[in-house]
Amino acid sequence: MGERYDRRSGLYERHWAPVLAPTALRLLDLAAPWLPPDGEDRTVLDVGTGTGTLVLAAALRWPAADVVGMDLSKGMLSVARAAARDLPRPPRLLEGAADAIPLPEASVDLALSSFVLQLVPDRPAAMREIRRVLRPGAAFAYVTWLDRDRPFAPDDAFDEAVLDLDIDEPEETEPHRAGDVASPRAALAQLRRAGFAAVGARVETLEHAWTPEDYLDFKFAYDEEALMADLTAAQRRRLGVLARRHLARLTAADYRWRADVVFAWGRRPG
């Protein structure tokens, strides 16, 4: 997984991070009551910091805090470091896995994570490790996908274009990962089993308004990596023509993507 994001860090920053950012940043509003207004004498950890959306915003929101971002991918951390250079107090950025956080036990006052706990191999192990680094009474909050598909017309239109191209699509081997959260109740149960108390969870909606060109650029440059690698230049051009033909039949409202997410939180007892 780390190698995949090393390779795609720049593309992630351009095509995917802006889609996730507004929803990820809601975590800061959720967590704000748990810290002093400026974060003085507190340590804030972002688990799976990626290209830095959450950790950079946390460093600005709590300028007196020690803000730490951690990620498995060197490439993603490189993008985050470049973006952090001009901050008054840049966050510390560390390489590490969610189930092996390079921080001492009971050293963190608030842990956050956005759109990462679906990617880890073992979500309960990651949660136990996050609890380990929290001080007694400190809180952890995360957001990730709810395992509930909503139809999205541009996806269907693009798939129709691939069918029109009449090719054999490559089979992608996905790394083992924990997957999306089944329900808010499941999120609560996992937090309790990992040793958290005062747990809570709720479902919210991520919304993003694509344009036809932005969506097609996303599909070609980022989302369909395996497919594009398997096509010739001529086939890619042909697919672009077919996809635009299908996408042109849609309305502006069809391009507003809505996906269900789960926000969940808890505290280390003590």
pLDDT at 177: 85
Query: Is residue 1 scored above 70 in pLDDT?
Result: no
Higher pLDDT among residues 169 and 75, named by residue: 75
Query: Is residue 226 scored above 70 in pLDDT?
Result: yes
Higher pLDDT among residues 5 and 138, named by residue: 138
3-class secondary structure per residue, 75-131: HHHHHHHHHHCCCCCCCEEEECECCECCCCCCCEEEEEEECCCCCCCCHHHHHHHHH
The model's confidence at residue 169, banded by pLDDT at 50, 70 and 90, is confident
**Which residue has 């007196």 as its token pair?**
64
Query: Is residue 134 scored above 70 in pLDDT?
Result: yes
Cβ count within 10 A of residue 191 = 24
Query: What are the structural domain ranges in the chain?
Result: 2-149+174-209+258-267
pLDDT at 172: 66
Higher pLDDT among residues 170 and 140, named by residue: 140
The tens digit of pLDDT for each residue in 174-225 reads 678 889 999 999 999 999 999 999 999 999 999 999 999 999 999 999 999 9
The model's confidence at residue 5, banded by pLDDT at 50, 70 and 90, is confident
The mean pLDDT value for 25-31 works out to 98
pTM of the model: 0.94
pLDDT at 173: 67
Kindly state the DSSP code that residue 176 receives in the 8-state scheme: P
State phi, psi for 36 to the nearest 5 degrees: -60, 155
The model's confidence at residue 167, banded by pLDDT at 50, 70 and 90, is confident
Mean pLDDT of the chain: 95
pLDDT at 4: 79
High-pLDDT (> 70) share of the chain, %: 98
**Which residue has 């800061």 as its token pair?**
28
101 close to 133: Cβ distance less than 8 angstroms: yes
pLDDT at 28: 98
Query: Is residue 46 scored above 80 in pLDDT?
Result: yes
The tens digit of pLDDT for each residue in 111-124 reads 999 999 999 999 99
The mean pLDDT value for 30-42 works out to 97
Adjacency order of strands within the sheet including 108-114: 92-95, 66-71, 43-47, 108-114, 134-145, 256-267, 197-209
The tens digit of pLDDT for each residue in 142-160 reads 999 999 999 999 999 999 9
Superfamily of domain 2-149+174-209+258-267: Vaccinia Virus protein VP39 (3.40.50.150)
pLDDT at 220: 97
Q: How far apart are CA 82 and CA 269, in angstroms?
A: 37
Two tokens, residue 38: 């400026």
178 close to 122: Cβ distance less than 8 angstroms: yes
Pairing of strands 66-71, 92-95: parallel
pLDDT at 187: 98
